[in-house]
Structure 1
Amino acid sequence: MSTETHALSTVTPRTPEQWIQRAAEVAAILAVDAVDRDRAGATPYDEVRLLKESGLVTLLGPTEHGGGGQTWPTAYQVIRTVATADGSIGQLLGYHLLWFWAARLVGTKEQIAHVEAEATKNKWFFGGAVNPRDSDVVVADEGSTIVFNGRKSFSTGSKVSDVTVLEGTLLDSGTHVFAIVPSDIEGLTFHDDWDNLGQRLTESGSVSLNHVRVPWEQAAGFVGKTFQPRVYNTLNVPTIQLVFVNFYLGIARGALETALTYTQEKSRSWLHGGYSTAAEEPYVIDLYGDLQAKLWAVEALADAVALEGQRIHENAWEVTAEQRGEHEVRVAAVKARATDVALEVTNRIFEVTGARSTASREGLDRFWRNVRTHTLHDPVAYKRREVGRHLLTGELPEPTWYS
């Protein structure tokens, strides 16, 4: 990763605008060799180090421990900005921020205070072995400890993480258990098997858990071995779905900006069109205008839904099921639109950059590959179904791992 032409400001960000500017500085550094890093597919140790040095990993951390003290609407903008340069690193940052927030989602007040203090002061980078499609991780109660055994197909952030969020079900009751453990804990093995079409630097390979032993007091949200439920426990899904939305939009923005530069500097006008430059071609102008308008529209919706969600985050201990459900419907709507628009932008830019833009050295394909890979996370048709059912019958989505 090159830092020769760009550097981080020495001024510590304080306001949302300054944090978004810090994210833009990180993006500028990542953009320099994004194509080469995507092609190499190496473990992004340097990239995560940059996220730590920039302060972005502690963006949501308490200010009294050196964190940014920012809100989720700012965090989403930061994720989106980083993803304009590198979708993989935008995803890594987004997942990290979600798992950084995991204690607030399911923990007791004492656990929240402890985890956030330690995570902020030590600049922990979070990974998560929490793939809901795999239900084979079981948790045994062995007195003062619980023991995790099983396997997960995906564990984003694996080898670059300092700590990992584990999830499994208690053998006797089937109750879900979350715990945060050091990523080098005995029995936790990350497999170097992430080899997918896109998002190549997310370290999202599989993980095995072989007698990973954790003290009961680290089981998030449990008091005396009994889980203390609240509606806010289920906010992990709409929060992570908005993380998805924002790195999709960042990737799409990066694709459009990269294509625009290519059109202005390299594209040739069509020999039978009668125009001296590609930028004068009416169909080129029309398509850029169409894609920009669609992207602006979904960005605006994403920002509005983020602000709606922030009101729930600020009322975490009192939020109702109805408030949560109405928010999830809005999240589903923006997830569906962001998916469609990001796929359209990253695909159709080739129509206005031309045949030579498909050369590997240009790397324009990485934007589509990244969006196409991650938008398959869960079927967008089911997001539209949530919106349609609510519209027709007033039904609110039941909280699940995907809704």
Structure 2
Amino acid sequence: MSTATSTDWQTRPAPETAEEWIARAAEVAAVLAADAAERDRAGRTPYTEVQLLKDAGLVTLLGPTEHGGGGHDWPTAYRVVREIAKADGSIGQLLGYHYLWNRAARLVGTREQWEHIEAEAARNRWFFGGAVNPRDKDVVVTEDGDDLLFTGRKSFSTGSKVSDVTVLEGVLEGTDQHVFAIVPSDADGLTFHDDWDNIGQRLTESGGVTIDRVRTPWSSAAGYVDKVFQPRTYNTLNVPTIQLVFVSFYLGIAGGALETAATYTRTKTRSWLHGGHERAVDEPYVIDIYGDLTAKLWAVEALTDAVAAEGQKLHDHPDAVTEQARGDFEVRVAAAKARATEVALEISSRIFEVTGARSTATAEGLDRFWRNVRTHTLHDPVAYKRREVGRWVLEGELPEPTWYS
């Protein structure tokens, strides 16, 4: 991977507008795209790729400007994730998850907690990982004086070895209270395993983690004051917020698949010998498929951008978020998630119809787009997203806030 562009970023002014940040992300994506297929096959831990994100300033996009951050909002972050995922779905996921965990303290914690975390993260260019798999209920949190001890195991810990800090989640012993805390990724007792061996999103470092009496002060427990959690409706926005992260890198992967396929079609695909055309780009069915897939992608991108703008209004006034507003937003997110899933799977599969048999060569790496989308879209069943929308339409029913809705 070339580092020339990375060096150049150190001497250029930081982006200011949303458009400038998205353009910076496109520059990073161009570097990533150069050897994306090769890196996917190698499956090496993406230390260099994460450093690229740091050098470009993307990791501090949401951070406070007074501490060196970009001071931008979620709609911009989602677009940046989309750009990165066009080149590399794994790195797009890592960056999107980083943004969510970077804002976890603001979503769940007290003002004092999140102001401290966001300042430190921006100053030190922390990259966040998270050991927060809600289906694993085997992390127990115990008290030890003024400290908490996290003990157990999580099957998935996205970011793991490439992160500077990790968000831990567990259940306080003897209660049903969940506790979130941010700890250094090299903390004693935190062991990341090299057991992520899936068909897609190969570079996300999403393997399991053993958590053996990882110690952190009670004061780091997000949202707890005097050992009592302070609930707000805003706390529950973490789910629709990360679901839009998912949507963003699904759309990015789909867009990257279309762009890569179009380049292949223009330069390598041969016209069909019985079609009557000298060039593949003049084949009517090829033109039709590209037009169809592009229209579908643009439509769901427009929906997603609109939903992201709606969500930002809630983030701007966290104490004013009501159950109704939160529920309506989740339904809109569910609709975007359903459409993005279907469109990304269709695009990443159908590109082979317009690139031809030779495009299936391993060296081309076109299969990585479908493998990446197929792997992550199984995170939670899309049928349940459509159910949220259907129940809202028929009965005005709001989705119950859970780990997935």
State the TM-score, normalizing by the size of structure 2. Answer: 0.98
1:374 to 376, 379, 384: 376
Per the alignment, residue 220 of structure 1 pairs with 222
1:303 partner amino acid: D
8 Å contact kept, 1:41–1:201: yes
Deviation at 1:141, TM superposition (A): 1.6
Matches within 5 A, 1:168-247: 168-247=170-249
1:360-399 equivalences under 5 Å are 360-399=362-401
2:358 corresponds, among 356, 359, 366, to 356
8 Å contact from structure 1 (residues 27, 86) kept in 2: yes
- Distance in 1, matches of 2:125 and 2:325, equals 33
* Counterpart secondary structure, 2:354: helix
How far did 1:143 drift? 2.0
Q: Aligned with 1:402: secondary structure? A: coil
Choose which of 147, 155, 158 in structure 2 pairs with 1:156. 158
Q: Which residue of 2 aligns with 1:13?
A: 15
CA distance in 1, matches of 2:374, 2:97: 18
What are the equivalent positions in structure 2 for 1:82-161 lying under 5 Å apart? 82-161=84-163
Residue in structure 2 matched with residue 347 of structure 1 by the alignment: 349
- Secondary structure, aligned partner of 1:235: helix
- Count residues in correspondence: 403
Match for residue 2 of structure 1? 2
Deviations 1:100-155 (A, max 9, x none): 00010011010011101101100000000000111111111222111111100000
Amino acid of the structure 2 residue aligned with 1:109: R
1:260-289 CA deviation, whole Å, 9 max, x = no partner?
000000000000011010001010011000
3-state SS of 1:208 partner: strand
Question: 2 CA distance for matches of 1:360 and 1:242?
Answer: 31
Corresponding residue to 1:287 among 277, 286, 289? 289
The structural deviation recorded for 1:189 is 0.6
- Report what 2:335 is aligned to: 333
Instruction: Give the Cα separation in 1 of the matches to 2:343 and 2:3.
Output: 32
**Contact 1:191-1:207 at 8 Å conserved across structures:** yes
SS of equivalent residue, structure 2 residue 63: coil
Paired with 1:188 and 1:5, the residues of 2 have a C-alpha distance of: 34
Within a 5 Å distance, the mapping from 1:309-320 to structure 2 comes to: 309-320=311-322
For the aligned residue pairs, the C-alpha RMSD in angstroms reads: 1.0
Query: Is the Cα–Cα contact under 8 Å of residues 8 and 54 in structure 1 kept in the other structure?
Result: no
Measured in 2, the distance between the counterparts of 1:8 and 1:377 equals 37
Cα offsets for 1:311-359 (capped at 9, x unmatched): 0000112210110000000000000000000000000000000000000
Q: Give ranges in structure 1 of 5+ residues lacking alignment.
A: none
| Percent of paired sites with the same residue | 74
- Give the deviation of 1:11 after TM superposition: 2.6
Distance (Å, rounded) in 1 between the aligned partners of 2:141 and 2:339: 38
Shift of 1:2: 2.5
Query: Is contact 1:298–1:337 with CA below 8 Å preserved after alignment?
Result: yes
Residue in structure 2 matched with residue 302 of structure 1 by the alignment: 304
2:51 aligned partner: 49
- Alpha-carbon distance in 1 for matches of 2:56, 2:8: 7
Write the distance in 2 (CA, Å) between the matches of 1:128 and 1:278: 46
Once the two structures are superposed, residues 345-377 of structure 1 have per-residue CA deviations (whole angstroms, 9 ceiling, x without a partner) of 000000000000000111100000000000000
Q: Tell me, in whole angstroms, the C-alpha distance in 2 between the residues paired with 1:184 and 1:6.
A: 26
How far does the alpha carbon of each residue in 1:131-185 deviate from its partner, in whole angstroms, 9 at most, with x for none? 0111111111222111111100000000000000000001122200000000000
- Which of the numbers 72, 78, 81 marks the counterpart of 1:79? 81
Give the residue type in structure 1 aligned to 2:85.
A
TM-superposed CA distance for 1:8, in Å, is 4.8
TM-aligned CA deviation for residue 14 of structure 1: 0.7
Contact 2:6 2:56 in 1 (8 A): no
1:8/1:309 CA distance change after superposition, 3 Å: farther
Tell me the SS of whatever aligns to 1:74: helix
> Contact between 2:258 and 2:347, CA under 8 Å: does it hold in 1?
yes
Give the C-alpha shift of residue 12 in structure 1.
1.1
Aligned-partner SS, 2:305: helix
Contact 2:200/2:373 (<8 A) preserved? yes
The CA distance in 2 between the partners of 1:374 and 1:221, in whole Å, is 30
8 Å contact 2:91–2:204 — kept in the other structure? yes
Structure 2 counterpart SS, 1:311:
helix
Cα distance between partner residues in 1 of 2:75 and 2:345 = 23
Note if contact 1:8-1:26 (Cα within 8 Å) is conserved in structure 2.
no
Match of 1:268 among 267, 270, 279: 270
- The alignment's TM-score, normalised by the length of structure 1, stands at 0.99
Structure-2 change in CA distance of 1:53 and 1:23 (3 Å)? same
Instruction: Extract unaligned runs of 5+ from structure 2.
Output: none
